[in-house]
Chain A
Amino acid sequence: MLTVEKVKKSFDGFVAVNGVSFRVHQGEICSIIGPNGAGKTTLFNLITGHLPADEGKLTFKGMDITHLRPYQICRLGMGRSFQRTNIFPRLTVFQNIQAAVLAHRGKSFNFYQPVESFFQEETQVLLKMVGLQDYAETISGSLSYGFQKQLELGISLASEPELLLLDEPTAGMSAQETHHTIELIGRITREKGLTLLFTEHDMEVVFSISERIMVLHQGRLIAEGSPEEVRNNPDVKKVYLGEGR
Chain B
Amino acid sequence: MSKENWFLIVIIMLLALLPLSESRFYIFLGTDILIMGLFAVSLNLLLGYTGLVSFGQAAYFGVGAYTCTLLMKKASIAFPLAFIGAAIFGAIIAFIIGFFCIRLTKIYFAMLTLAFSQIIWAIVFKWNSLTGGDNGIIGIPFPQHLDSPTRFYYFTLVIVVCSFYILRKAMDSPFGRMLTTIRENPERTEFIGINVKLFQLFAFMLSGFFAAIAGALFGIFNHSIFPDLLFWPQSAEVLIMAILGGMYSFFGPLVGAAVMLYLRMLVTSYTQYWPLIMGSILALLLFFFPGGIVGFLKSQRIFARGNR
Q: Is the interface of A mostly helix, strand, loop or mixed?
A: loop
Could you tell me if A115 and B172 are in contact, using CB atoms closer than 8 angstroms? yes
When C-beta atoms are compared, the residue in chain B nearest to A77 turns out to be: B193
How far is it, in angstroms, between the C-alpha of A98 and the C-alpha of B176 when the chains are bound? 13
Contact of A88 among B174, B180, B190 (CB under 8 A): B180
Residues of chain B within 8 A (CB-CB) of A87 are 184-185, 188
Could you tell me if A102 and B174 are in contact, using CB atoms closer than 8 angstroms? yes
When C-beta atoms are compared, the residue in chain A nearest to B179 turns out to be: A108
Residues of chain B within 8 A (CB-CB) of A86 are 185, 187-188
How far is it, in angstroms, between the C-alpha of A91 and the C-alpha of B196 when the chains are bound? 18
When C-beta atoms are compared, the residue in chain A nearest to B194 turns out to be: A103
When C-beta atoms are compared, the residue in chain B nearest to A108 turns out to be: B178
**Smallest CB–CB gap between B252 and chain A, Å?**
15
Contact of A70 among B180, B184, B191 (CB under 8 A): B191
How far is it, in angstroms, between the C-alpha of A100 and the C-alpha of B176 when the chains are bound? 14
Q: Does A22 contact B (CB under 8 A)?
A: no
Q: Which of A100, A108, A112 has the most CB of B within 10 A?
A: A108
Could you tell me if A89 and B178 are in contact, using CB atoms closer than 8 angstroms? no
Cβ contacts B43-86/A at 8 Å (1 or 0 each) = 00000000000000000000000000000000000000000000
Could you tell me if B177 and A115 are in contact, using CB atoms closer than 8 angstroms? yes
Q: Does B144 contact A (CB under 8 A)?
A: no
Could you tell me if B193 and A74 are in contact, using CB atoms closer than 8 angstroms? yes
Q: Does A48 contact B (CB under 8 A)?
A: yes
Q: Which of A98, A102, A114, A158 has the most CB of B within 10 A?
A: A102
Q: Does B24 contact A (CB under 8 A)?
A: no
Cβ contacts B240-275/A at 8 Å (1 or 0 each) = 000000001000000000000000000000000000
Could you tell me if B188 and A112 are in contact, using CB atoms closer than 8 angstroms? no
**Smallest CB–CB gap between A61 and chain B, Å?**
15
Residues of chain B within 8 A (CB-CB) of A79 are 191
**Smallest CB–CB gap between B40 and chain A, Å?**
21
How far is it, in angstroms, between the C-alpha of A44 and the C-alpha of B243 when the chains are bound? 38
Could you tell me if A71 and B194 are in contact, using CB atoms closer than 8 angstroms? yes
How far is it, in angstroms, between the C-alpha of A132 and the C-alpha of B189 when the chains are bound? 21
Q: Which of B172, B180, B191 has the most CB of A within 10 A?
A: B191
Cβ contacts A72-92/B at 8 Å (1 or 0 each) = 001100011010001111110
Residues of chain A within 8 A (CB-CB) of B173 are 110-115
Q: Does A159 contact B (CB under 8 A)?
A: yes
**Smallest CB–CB gap between B61 and chain A, Å?**
23
A114 with B178, Cβ < 8 A, contacts A82-B187, A103-B193, A159-B193 known = no
How many B residues, CB 8 Å from partner? 26
Residues of chain A within 8 A (CB-CB) of B178 are 99, 102-103, 108
How far is it, in angstroms, between the C-alpha of A155 and the C-alpha of B173 when the chains are bound? 19
Q: Does A107 contact B (CB under 8 A)?
A: yes
| Size category of the binding interface on chain A | 35 or more
When C-beta atoms are compared, the residue in chain A nearest to B202 turns out to be: A109
Residues of chain A within 8 A (CB-CB) of B194 are 71, 103, 108
Could you tell me if B177 and A99 are in contact, using CB atoms closer than 8 angstroms? yes
Q: Does B170 contact A (CB under 8 A)?
A: yes
Cβ contacts A145-183/B at 8 Å (1 or 0 each) = 000000000010011000000000000000000000000
**Smallest CB–CB gap between B29 and chain A, Å?**
33
How far is it, in angstroms, between the C-alpha of A108 and the C-alpha of B175 when the chains are bound? 5
Could you tell me if B174 and A91 are in contact, using CB atoms closer than 8 angstroms? no
**Smallest CB–CB gap between B173 and chain A, Å?**
5
Could you tell me if B188 and A104 are in contact, using CB atoms closer than 8 angstroms? no
How far is it, in angstroms, between the C-alpha of A74 and the C-alpha of B199 when the chains are bound? 17
Q: Does A41 contact B (CB under 8 A)?
A: no
Residues of chain B within 8 A (CB-CB) of A91 are 180-181, 184, 308
Q: Does A18 contact B (CB under 8 A)?
A: no
Residues of chain B within 8 A (CB-CB) of A159 are 192-193
Q: Does A118 contact B (CB under 8 A)?
A: yes
A71 with B196, Cβ < 8 A, contacts A95-B177, A102-B178, A114-B173 known = yes
How far is it, in angstroms, between the C-alpha of A139 and the C-alpha of B6 when the chains are bound? 27
Q: Does B169 contact A (CB under 8 A)?
A: yes
Q: Does B128 contact A (CB under 8 A)?
A: no
Could you tell me if B170 and A75 are in contact, using CB atoms closer than 8 angstroms? no
How far is it, in angstroms, between the C-alpha of A80 and the C-alpha of B190 when the chains are bound? 11
Residues of chain B within 8 A (CB-CB) of A88 are 180-181, 184-185, 188-189
**Smallest CB–CB gap between A162 and chain B, Å?**
14
Residues of chain B within 8 A (CB-CB) of A71 are 190-191, 193-196
* Residues 14-39 of B contacting A (Cβ, < 8 Å): none
Could you tell me if B177 and A102 are in contact, using CB atoms closer than 8 angstroms? yes
Q: Does A201 contact B (CB under 8 A)?
A: no
Q: Does A50 contact B (CB under 8 A)?
A: yes
CB<8 Å pairs between A and B, sample of 6: A50-B187, A79-B191, A87-B188, A88-B189, A108-B175, A155-B188
5 nearest CB pairs, A to B: A88-B184, A100-B192, A74-B193, A103-B192, A70-B190
What 11 additional pairs, Cβ within 8 angstroms, besides A112-B173, A158-B192?
A74-B191, A87-B185, A87-B188, A89-B185, A90-B248, A90-B308, A102-B174, A110-B175, A115-B173, A155-B192, A159-B193
